[in-house]
Amino acid sequence: MVTAVDMTPLDTAAIRAQFPILEREVHGNPLVYLDNAATTQKPQAVIDSLTSYYSTMNANIHRGLHTLAEEATAAYEGVRQQVAELIGAASHREVVFTRNTTESLNLLAYTLGARLQPGDEIVLSAAEHHSNLVPWQLVAQRTGAVLRFIELNDDQQIDVDTARAAITPNARIVSVVHISNVLGSITPIAEISQMAREVGASMIVDAAQSAPHIAVDVDDLGVDFMAFSSHKMLGPTGVGVLWGRRELLADLDPFLGGGEMISVVTREESSWAALPHKFEAGTPNIADVIAFGAAIQFLNAVGMDAVAAHDADLTAYAVERMSRLEGLDIYGPADPSERSAVVAFNYRDIHSHDIATILDRSGIAVRAGHHCAQPLMRTLGVPATARASFYLYNERSEVDALIDGLLEAGERFGFDRGA
């Protein structure tokens, strides 16, 4: 169970107490975990859910008539309903479980992409993660479809004007990121969805960085499909979500074939199970899906609006403090209110890998590299960045520790700490 916590205002001390890993030390220093855009830490309730499943109801689902199978099936399908409610879906049958956001997007590229003809256009943005770029490149190579890109504006946000130019009557698919994992910029999805709808294109959104941090409603956004992952929102790894409008999913062919996704099989042909099982071949990741339900319960107890407000406050504080450091460049919108809980940066020409290594010696975990967004790095004119990313258990004192760690890194490379 999730321990009751007074969440108004957000009580980070009470929240942190529910995350065992935050008590550990790294290289003799308290852990400061600022790599949440890559994966988040897990509360005790999620850990307990995994243990409970394997200790009390371990069984395969949907097929068995014995008690354990029925209990496991009910728990698994209950999480599907939780996900539907979390994102405002019309039905739990619109929720498909995959391994991760990447698989969800590949499923769409495989199924929707098979229908494309030479000259059809796939519209992406300059800020896409490789997971929402490479699958569409493969589709274009197979079908002769053309990739078009929405560019960034001067504030390093996805530009609505270039979106309007990119989404032509030839567009069949528009697939864009909701919140950039590098820039933290928030895409005006509802506006772009309207443009896609006007030309009859399918609208897909990569919500890997938005679903964990803000309230997401698929109807308000006006999208056709959405993909996100459990592990970026307190849940286990190995669980992704694909949401799609029921009539659109029903019209797609299966992605994988095998057990569970069938209705009738003969030697010559097969027919498919009803939604969502048509897209869930084989034994799924039962324990981790059920534990994802515990993560959703935790987020619901906090409230997504409270999470968003906390993240916004912490991000604004980080941007303000980091902006004071001479020689530090921050990427993404200058106005902190226009970004989510991601701050990518470079400091004093020190390679991002060196920054991450030095910070790690102080127990501070950040990401360094191209963040699976090499085309975006080229657009920014840099080979890589360091990235600090925040979540509901982070505190201002951890931002202060980051600043001290950066100053120490500067000192090691011969820069004046006081500059």
Residue 89: alpha-carbon gap to chain centroid: 18
* Paired residues of 402 in beta bridges: none
Task: Give the integer Cα–Cα distance in Å for 90 and 265.
Answer: 30
Q: Among the options 38, 372, 382, 407, which is catalytic?
A: 372
Task: Give the integer Cα–Cα distance in Å for 231 and 87.
Answer: 17
Task: Give the integer Cα–Cα distance in Å for 417 and 131.
Answer: 39
Task: Give the integer Cα–Cα distance in Å for 97 and 228.
Answer: 10
**372 noted as active-site residue:** yes
Q: How large is the C-alpha radius of gyration of the chain?
A: 22
Q: How big is the chain, counted in residues?
A: 419
DSSP code of 254?
P
Do 116 and 90 meet the contact criterion of CB atoms below 8 Å apart? no
How many C-alpha atoms does 236 have within 13 Å on its Cβ side? 22
| Cβ-based neighbours of 309, under 8 Å, separated by 6 or more | 10
Tally Cβ neighbours within 10 Å of residue 12.
18
Task: Give the integer Cα–Cα distance in Å for 203 and 368.
Answer: 31
Indicate which residues carry an active-site annotation.
372
